[in-house]
A and B are shown apart, each in its own frame.
Chain A
Amino acid sequence: MGIYLDHAATTPVLPEAAQMLAEASLRGFGNPSSIHIRGQMAREAMDEARQVTAKALGCLADEIVFTSGGTEANSLALIGACLARQDSGRHLVISAVEHESVRNTAHFLETLGFRVTEIPVDPAGLVDPGDIARALTPETILISVMTVNNIIGTVQPVTEISELARKRKILFHTDAVQAFPNMLVEPGSLGVDLLSLSSHKFRGPKGMGVLYVRKGTPLVPLVRGGHQENGLRAGTENLPGIMALALAIKRSRENLEKAETELRRLRNLLAEDILANLDHVKLNGHSERAAPHIAHFSVDFTDGESLVRNMDHEGVIVSAGSACSSEEGKTSHVLEAIGQSGPLARGTVRFSLSRETTEQEVRDASAVFRNVVVRLRSASAAGRFA
């Protein structure tokens, strides 16, 4: 089956969670909104799942809103907060390296008359909180900066920015989709008002996500038509999916600190091995503020798509960038933001590990990568001089 190192794109569902989903579907709880016993049983199961989820994040159960995924959570956070606060101002601030779901939602808000400021990052992909402070105006109602960048893995200074936001009474949202389950994510200690998670990134089912909404945060719903999720997200709840999500988040939270240390060790091992054995390869991202599971490289004289396909052929699954934009065939806005554009940004590859990844897999993947790069380079050189 090969070595799967594309966990930033999606993770395999935890067998335990898949089983729970199947069992819950078989048991057939009924609709949690129905008043009959089956409806009540469904509601109780919902409440429990919500509590388990809240516990994993160290927040209150009624601060959890279940959504259809990280993308919806991000859309709900931005549109919901901006529409709720538009009387206080119509300006929002995001970083230049946000995921498409934040970026494109912000662009959509522009069509509704909001003004968006994109804060540039340094070549390591880091946002300077000072730049954010300077961009704030009395009109600013929301800041959205991701916890971990999904392409290059840079960890943003979320706590510093949240302090800033709190002082200015501006809402702060963070897209933590890539952070959990690889790092500890606690909205309380991060000091954020809104935080998005995606179930399929932590081995839960796809089609599920979480938006943390700090108590008292004003939010207008995106999907309307029922009182589900405190009126913040209408639609019959996907209870089996929610129960499976809760189990996956609970398992992810267990031994997280230990897993993070090991993950980081393997990621560093991979990076060192690759850099030691190949020339003209650059490890992107920040040297200290790096996510423990992502290693993103720029490889001169190759292109990302050939790298991915050739490695796939040899049984190693990696990605050229983010899955969400892989079909565009254009330079990622993240690479542009860190100053890599055009031909330089073409030969990029992202390895993303999980706590199930072994040292042997890392060593094998590195060896395959080395061979593929050498082969592609000599083929392209041969082509050039033919």
Chain B
Amino acid sequence: MVNKRIFLDHASTTPVRPEVIELISEAYQRFIGNPSSLHRFGQESRRALEEAREKIAGLLGCHPDELFFTSGGTEANNMAIKGVARALSEKGTHLVATAVEHHSVLDACRSLEREGFSISLVPVDSYGRIVIEAFREALTPQTILASVMHGQNEVGTLEPVSEIGEIARSFGVPLHSDAVQTVGRIPVLVDTLGVDLLSLSSHKFGGPKGVGALYVRRGTPCFPLIHGGNQEEGRRPGTENLAGILGMARALELSMLELEDGDRRLHMLRTRFIQLLRESVPRARVNGHPSLFLQGIISVTLPGVPAEEVLICLDQEGIAASAGAACVSGALEPSHVLLSMGLTRKEAEATIRISPGKENDVEDVEVVIRKIRGIVLRTGPSFVPPP
């Protein structure tokens, strides 16, 4: 039997918007020149590139010259962490991040340990939210960078970035925020958040893969990660992926236009999902903050039911969900995020992430709940009430 395929893994990646694909295809025909070339073909490309930069800068509330295009969120995070650390290494060699950062932030920090830097990971509470006092205590006169993500990718908790920003500022420490999960999903304004650096990734909001950006506040020192020509003011060399950048700009623009409607729809889907889940699997637990969360990320622990089994069964039914971050799935390591929140190893291994998006409807939610209930029934029927 062929089921309708249901994609509930938008935190991992989103389908590219058809309008964006069309724009990219047009761009390949229209913009032939290298934006760095002096001739007309090059200058046309350059203008389109700068328009895209202005558009995105407008949506983030920053200056166009504070925005550097990268090959994605991972590169943006690597560039922010390594770039600032290396640029400020004479001032100090200590970095602070939360324990629940994405691997691209954590691994970038760890690789710096070999260059003589030290890292403090600030604990989170049981909701996955950074403990603000612990953050304050982690700062030392040696601290040169703090990195606190905006929306947690596995449990959806929103971190108090603006509060952290104020503290960081009072200590004179630049703050980076990995906003890969929030840009295009909720309003993200760099000044409201009070950040000095911010990473975003195009394929999380209906844009093409292989494109992202790093915001770097004017005056914030940041060395390049990749070295070469003068593109992006020498801070991110390499011939620009113009078509991809135009696609990202359009995708972000469209996402922001649909933000309110989209948020309302996702809220409705989420509420329905959790309500049905409570009814059909009462022992299931929803992780993350009860009020400060991203609508599109639902982390569910099904005690006693291995996540891997659930995901494979769902997959066979044509439903895509995830155990946590796609970037580590297959690694079979229990999530560092869930463990940091105080879940046991067993609980962490029984946790799945459902992330609905734009094209999902209530029926999708109902189908997935029925399937989850079936799987739980097979695994531990005594806990499930009769329908």
A contact residues vs B (CB 8 Å cutoff): 4, 6, 9-10, 12-13, 15, 18-19, 21-22, 25-26, 28, 30-31, 33-39, 67-72, 74-75, 99-101, 104-105, 107-108, 112, 198, 200, 205-208, 222-228, 234-241, 305, 308-309, 311-312, 317-320, 322-328
Contacts and interface: CB of A to CB of B under 8 A. Distances in A.
Interface string B224-253: 111111110000011111111000000000
Contacts of B228: 71, 74-75, 99-101, 104-105, 324
A101 B229 contact: yes
Contacts of A105: 226-228
Interface in B305-333: 308, 311-312, 314-315, 318-323, 326-331
Contacts of A200: 239
A206 B37 contact: no
Nearest to A109: B227
B286 interface: no
Contact of A30 (B7, B18, B41, B224): B7
Contact of B74 (A10, A34, A226, A239): A226
Interface stretch (B91-99, B133-141, B202-210, B288-296): B202-210
13 contacts: A6-B33, A28-B16, A38-B5, A68-B72, A71-B228, A101-B226, A101-B238, A224-B74, A225-B106, A235-B71, A235-B74, A235-B75, A236-B73
Interface in B64-84: 70-75, 77-78
Nearest to A321: B38
Chain B interface category by residue count: 35 or more
Interface string B252-281: 000000000000000000000000000000
Given A28-B16, A104-B237, A239 B209 contact: yes
A25 B315 contact: no
Nearest to A318: B39
Interface string B96-138: 0000001111111011000100000000000000000000000
A312 B40 CA distance: 7
Contact of A226 (B9, B24, B104, B320): B104
B311 A9 contact: no
A218 B318 CA distance: 40
Nearest to A8: B34
Interface of B: 5, 7, 9, 12-13, 15-16, 18, 20-22, 24-25, 28-29, 32-34, 36-42, 70-75, 77-78, 102-108, 110-111, 115, 201, 203, 208-211, 224-231, 237-244, 308, 311-312, 314-315, 318-323, 326-331
A248 B157 CA distance: 42
A36 B320 CA distance: 6
Contacts of A228: 327
Contacts of B78: 222-225, 234
Nearest to B311: A35
Contact of A234 (B38, B230, B237, B327): B327
Contacts of A33: 12, 326-330
A108 B225 CA distance: 10
A34 B242 contact: no
A34 B326 contact: yes
B21 A235 contact: no
B369 to A, nearest CB: 18
Given A35-B330, A36-B321, A22 B24 contact: yes
A208 B209 CA distance: 11
A9 B37 CA distance: 8
Contact of A240 (B28, B40, B104, B208): B208
